[in-house]
Structure 1
Amino acid sequence: MRNSKGFTIIEMVVVIVILGILAVTAAPRLLNLQPDARKATLDAFVGAFEAADSIAMSKAMAAGVEHSTTPTLIPGTNITVVQNQMDLDVKNIAEAMNVDGYNLFQLKLDPSKGTGFAVYLGDEKTPRELSRHECQIVIWRLKDNDHTGFVLKDTEIVKRYDGC
C-alpha cells in the first residue's frame, strides 16, 4: 500500500468546476450592488436633510424667527430660515448637516419662482452634465405668489435613480 500525499487531478478539477459555477452565479449579483448602494446613500441624504431641517426649525422657533419672510439667521448659528423652513441655499445646507461625500449644486431658478438644489455622488459635473445625469436627488420649494406677497410651498424631493 502506497502513502498518498496531495490531491488527485480529478479532485482538483471538481473543485475548480464548483468554484467556476459559484463565480458565474454569484458574481453578477455582487457586481450589481453598486446601484443599490448609490440609491441608499442618496436616500440617507434625504433622511439627514429632513432631520437637519427639523432641528433648524426647532432652533428657529425657540429664537422666534421661524416666520421671517426673508432668509434670517438663527441666533448662535450660521443657518438661515425663511417662512418656517430652512433656506435651501447649498451653503446653508452645508452648515446645517454633514455633506461630505455628496456634491450639491444650487439650481438656477428664477428667485420669484422658488429655490432648490441637486444632490449627486461622484465627480463634479457641469450644469449640462447634471441635466443628463440620472442618479441624483432634487430638493426644491416653489413660491406661490398671491396678492399678499409670496408663500413657500412644501418641500419637494424628486429622486432620479434611473442611471444609478
Structure 2
Amino acid sequence: MLSAFEATRDKKYLDRAYTLAKGVTQQLAERSGGMVWEHYDTDWQPDWDYNKNNPKDEFRPYGFIPGHQFEWSKLLLWLDRHRSENWMTERAKYLFDKGWNRGWDAKYGGLYFALSPQEEVIDRDKNYWVMAEAISAASLLGVKTGDSGYWKAY
C-alpha cells in the first residue's frame, strides 16, 4: 500500500496502509501481549497452536518472529514519512526493542528466527531476511530518534 501510494499519490493507498499498520501493530499485537503474533483465527484472536508441532516451517512459522517485529517497525517509520503520528514511532521502537532484546544471540551474534508465546527461543536458525529487516529498522529508528543504541544495533 505504501509503494502504491508513492507511485500514484492516490490517498486511498495511504489510508489503507494506515489502517493495516494500526490494526496489526496496535489492535492485533495487543491481543498477544504487545508483539505481533504470527497466526490468528477467524475471529482475529491469536491462534496459539497454529503449526505448533512444526515450528521450523519457514513459510507458516509458529510463534513470535523477531524479523516480523523489525519489519513492522520499519513499515511504521515508512508510513510516518507520509502521515506522522506519535504512536507510530513509539510502536516502532517497542517492536524493534522487543525483537532485538528477545531475538539477539548474545553468545554468537545474530538474530534467532522464532520465539514461543513465553518469548523463549524455539528456532535458533538465523535467516538472512531477519538481519536485513533489523538493519533497515535500526537505521530508520536511528535517524528518527537520534538514539545511538539503534546505530549500535545497525
Q: TM-score, normalised by structure 1?
A: 0.26
Higher helix share: 2
Specify which structure has the bigger relative contact order, considering alpha-carbon pairs within 8 angstroms and separated by 6 or more residues.
2
Higher strand share: 1
Q: TM-score, normalised by structure 2?
A: 0.27
Structure index of larger Rg: 1
